[in-house]
Each structure stands twice: as C-alpha cells, then as structure tokens.
Structure 1
Amino acid sequence: MKRERIGINFLGMPMNTPVMGASGTFGFGTEYEDFLAMKDVGAVISKGITPLPRAGNPGVRIAETAGGMLNCIGLENPGIDAFMKHILPTAKQLDTRFIVNISAGTADEYGEMAAKLDVNGVDALEVNISCPNVKEGGIIFGTDPQAAAAVTKSVKARTRKPVIVKLSPNVTDITVMAQAVEAAGADAVALINTLTGMAIDITARRPLLGNITGGLSGPAVKPVALRMVWQVANKVDIPVLGLGGIATWQDAVEFMLAGASAVAVGAYNFINPRALAEIADGMEAWCRCEGIHRIGDIVGALET
C-alpha cells in the first residue's frame, strides 16, 4: 500500500510512517529484515546500550501474564564500544531511521555515551532514565526530577543529535518529570516505559522472575499509557512519542489523538513480527476513509 498520508517529520527526521520499533523489542532492526521491509518502519529504536558490556540478570527473565508480559532482562548488551565496532556499521545501512537507546549509572556516563554516539548512522538518542543513579545510593533517575534533568543536560551538552527522554510511569505525577526534562533541553519525551510488576510460582512459593520484579508491557498497560500520554501532551511543548500496549492501528490512532506525534510498538512485535507494517497500513487506510490527508492533523485532536 502506498504511504501517502502517514509520513511525518519527527524532530527533523522525515519518516515514511509514524510507527517505530520500541527499544528492547526490536533488537537492532536487522533481526526483523526477514519479516518486513525497513522502509515500512518509521524508525528502529535500538536495544539499550550501556557504557560496559552487561550479562543481564540471572534466572528467569520473561514471564507471560494476563494481557502482557513481565521482563527483567537486565539490560544485557555488548557495551557501547562493541556496539559501535560490530553492530552500528550494519544497522546504519537499514532503510529507515536508527535511534540508539542509552542507559548509564551517572549523569556523566550518559554524557560520555552521547559524545561517542555523535556520529553518522545515529539519527537520534533515546535516553532511558529508568536506571539507578549509582552516585545517589541507587535512586532511579526517572523518579527524581532533578536527577532526570541532570542526565538530560549532560546528554544535550555532548551531542548534536535530537534527544528523546524515555519516561518511567512508576512515579506519582509523570507530568512533573516531563516538564523537568523539557526545561533541561530534551527535544522530545517517550512514554511509557514498563510498569513494575511481579509473578509468583505458588508451588515453589518463590518469585517467578530471577530479579523478583520486572517490567510489565503489552495490552494490559495501554489504558495507563494512553492516560499518561494525554496528560503529558497537555503539559509540554515538545513532541511526545507514545508507546505502551499498542497492538493495532486503532491503538496507534488513539495515542495520536491523545497527543502523541509518533508511536512505538513493543511487546506485540513478539507475537507478530510484521506488526509495524500492518499497523502503518491500517493507519493509511483509515486516513483515506476519513478524508485525512496528513496524519499529523490528528495529533492532539481529542475532544474532551
């Protein structure tokens, strides 16, 4: 299907569709090339990269739950140096935008990673602040506005790339976090990251996940994500990338009506590896049926 109505310009990046592959669920993009053409993907947001290699958490890392899945992968990745040497040269050849997700333990480390990634082939950075600040006794960057702002400033000071800050939903008021990173210079916010959850093996009377708790994603989180996107979009002036439980084109349209300028699909990629293309097709067909010539016209058009 021709994509004449759903092309967008997100942070100066022209995209064929507003539907991206969410970090941690789409690998580095190359893993999905057997299932769909990358031109049918708005952007690939990479698996999270850290300053040093990480083996991830021991024990069970993924558990199915009603309406979704729990994961405690633990940011398993090869580290930034191996990523740039062995993965980026291939990933940057993909026929789509490539956004790199980064995590670190201090604001300075985030800045150092941003500087290393200020290279050709990286279109933007997505900053994962759902990480413990090792200098502050393990407080999560994403739950403290000052810590989140410090990370944002550090990254912005070391890169020319657009900076998207990915917000944690595990806070009292997500709009406070969004406004803090906007004031610190973020070019966009992405939300939501996973909700904290757990599962129990009643026979063993032990937690099912090796890390005890994990991140909940999938359809179960969609109503929460949609509400938070709507709240944040009404409080900030920067674009919002909406994600959390999107599985259909109707879900994607809901997020854009709520104020998201673009969307990302996560857990549903594991069920249907062609999800991004099929959701984009559905959005294009809906626009034609509704007489909408530019998908951007529906952003924030929710009537309340």
Structure 2
Amino acid sequence: MGRLTVDLAGVKLDNPVMPASGTAAYGQEMARQLDLGMLGGLVIKSTTAAPKVGNARPTTAETSAGWLNAIGLKNPGIDVVMAEKLPWLATRYPNLPIIGSVAGSTFDEYVTVAIKMAAAPNVKLLEINISCPNVEQGGLAFGTDPAMVENLTRAIVMAVDKPVFMKLTPNVTNIVPIAAAAEAGGASGLTMINTLTGMGIDLKTRQPILAHGTGGLSGKAIHPLAVRMIHEVRQQTKLPIIGVGGVFTPEDVLEFYLAGANAVEVGAATYGNPTACTDIIAGLPAAMDHYGISSLQALIAEVQG
C-alpha cells in the first residue's frame, strides 16, 4: 500500500481526500476544473426518490467565518442519477470509487433510494444523510434521535450489500449516543460532521440573508468542532470515520487523523478554490514528511491502536 492509501470498510482509496456531498454535484462540473481520477473518491450529491427543486434563492451566503447554505437537497432524483449521472462517471472514471449519498423525508424513501443506488457497480459505499427532516415525525431531523438512527441504519444495512456510513449531524447536545446508535444498527462506518444550523440577518433589509431563514454553516469555523466530535466518538468506537468540516490544508487532514479519522471530505474550501481537493492531496506527502509520518495507515495504527 502507498503512503496515502486508506481502507474504508474494505473499500480501498488511493488517497484519503474526496469532495463533501453537494460540493461537486455528480462530478461533471468539477471534471472541468481537475482530473477526478486523482481524487480518493467522489461523494455525489444527496439524492432523493423524486426530483427536488430545492429552496428559493438566495440559498448561499458568506459569513465572517464560513458559508451558510440552504440548498434544500436540490437533485434530479434517483432514477436520473442511475440512468445518467453514475454511468457518466463509470465511463470516464472507471476506477474512481463513488460514495453514494442517500437522503429522504420518510423511512421508506431512505431504504428505497439506498437499494437503487447500491445497485450501481461504481458505487462502492453508501453515505446516509440523516440531517434531513422526518415528515412523519413532525419535521425533527432523523439524526437527532438515537432510536430512529438505529432503526434506520438497520433497515438500510439489511436491504443493501454495500458498506453503509451514517453521516452524523452535529446539531445535538451529545453526538456520542448518535454514533453508538448507528453502530448498533450495523453501520460499517461514520461520516462526521454535517453542517451546523446557523443564521445571518441583513442590517439594511432587516431580513435573513438566506430566503429559507436558517442554513447550514460550513467552513473554517466548524473545524475545531468537528475535531472535538471525531475525537469523542473515536474513544467509543472502532468504526472507520470520514472526517468533514473546515478542511482547507494538508495539516487540517492530519489533524483529523490525530482525532481519529480514517479519511476526509473537503467542502467549503472548494467554493473559493475549485482545485482544493487535488491541492491538498498534492501537499500531503510534504506535510507528512514534516511531521515524521511514514504513511496514513501507520498514523491510523498509531492513533487508533
């Protein structure tokens, strides 16, 4: 194995860096900026059963320390993704591991989308976005209730034959019971963290800067929170963790590893720099040399035992 090679629940990645769900859509736009084949993997946009038009504009806004977004899970629906988006990637990047992001508003929708997506040969693992509001339970996010997380995880795991990673929301008092619930449900791994709920108000209009009102905060501001939560969860589980939240540099990647991560996703950094992912990958060997790290697998063994 190479210095940057990592293993996620049996899925081998040539390096640990991939774009976070939603930041690269289904790859076509990012492919104009960089060679997708250089990525460790590609996490596609969260996909639902039916097409979603998303929220009214403006859906994104820059803040003093990161970005707010309320895209509203805009996507073409699983059938279009299966017929067009995933085959496009398979034809052009046959060796690129695809992480399929699954979303829904009901229990059954999650399972239905997961089953369909897992059937794509180039989808190597599923990432389940449980920050979605559960319309059957009054709109509370799926990922804030441990019992619901365990039950949803179990239902998806039993329905598919690919590794299932649950993407944890940080909008809870304590993330450890949520992670434990995902593990109890049979998850192969965890992705953490999703965005934190935030808000901005325009002083001139006296209205929220996002049409939706609130949105998900991403960027450098959430990095220390992600480090803390990954570290907390790592003390309680041996499951592989994909760290996400304010990764802008190779040093940010290594910090996530020291907290207990096994791979990373890059989100907000790509907004100002479309090649952020490949820039970080290119800079990792020198950063590892500087801190005396022979390989990422060795670092994982050192930190995680």
TM bin, normalised by shorter chain, reads over 0.9
C-alpha displacement of 1:286: 2.5
- Name which of 49, 59, 62 aligns with 2:60: 62
**Match of residue 222 from structure 2:** 221
**Match of residue 44 from structure 1:** 42
* More off after superposition, 88-97 vs 68-77: 88-97
Number of residue pairs aligned between Structure 1 and Structure 2? 301
Deviations 1:2-27 (A, max 9, x none): x9411112221111101111101111
On the 8 A contact 1:5/1:292 being kept in 2, the answer is no
Quote the Cα distance in structure 1 between the aligned partners of 2:79 and 2:31: 24
In the alignment, structure 1 residue 271 sits paired with structure 2 residue 269: no
- After the TM superposition, list the runs of 4 or more consecutive aligned residues in structure 1 that deviate by more than 4 angstroms: 300-303
C-alpha displacement of 1:118: 2.3
**Match of residue 84 from structure 1:** 82
SS of aligned partner of 2:159: coil
C-alpha displacement of 1:300: 7.3
SS of aligned partner of 2:285: helix
**Match of residue 25 from structure 1:** 23
* More off after superposition, 176-185 vs 31-40: 31-40
**Match of residue 98 from structure 1:** 98
On the 8 A contact 2:48/2:78 being kept in 1, the answer is yes
Quote the Cα distance in structure 1 between the aligned partners of 2:52 and 2:265: 25
Deviations 1:111-169 (A, max 9, x none): 11111122212111100000111111212111101111121111111110110100000
TM-score, length-scaled by structure 2? 0.95
On the 8 A contact 1:7/1:18 being kept in 2, the answer is yes
Tell me which amino acid in the other structure corresponds to 2:108: D
Aligned-residue CA RMSD in angstroms?
1.6
On the 8 A contact 2:114/2:160 being kept in 1, the answer is yes
On the 8 A contact 1:92/1:98 being kept in 2, the answer is no
C-alpha displacement of 1:39: 2.7
Quote the Cα distance in structure 1 between the aligned partners of 2:302 and 2:223: 19
Q: Which runs of 5+ in 1 are unaligned?
A: none
Change (3 A) 1:224 1:290: closer
In the alignment, structure 1 residue 53 sits paired with structure 2 residue 51: yes
Q: Which runs of 5+ in 2 are unaligned?
A: none
Work out the percentage of aligned pairs sharing the same amino acid.
Answer: 42
On the 8 A contact 2:257/2:299 being kept in 1, the answer is yes
Tell me which amino acid in the other structure corresponds to 2:114: A
**Match of residue 174 from structure 1:** 175
* More off after superposition, 284-293 vs 188-197: 284-293
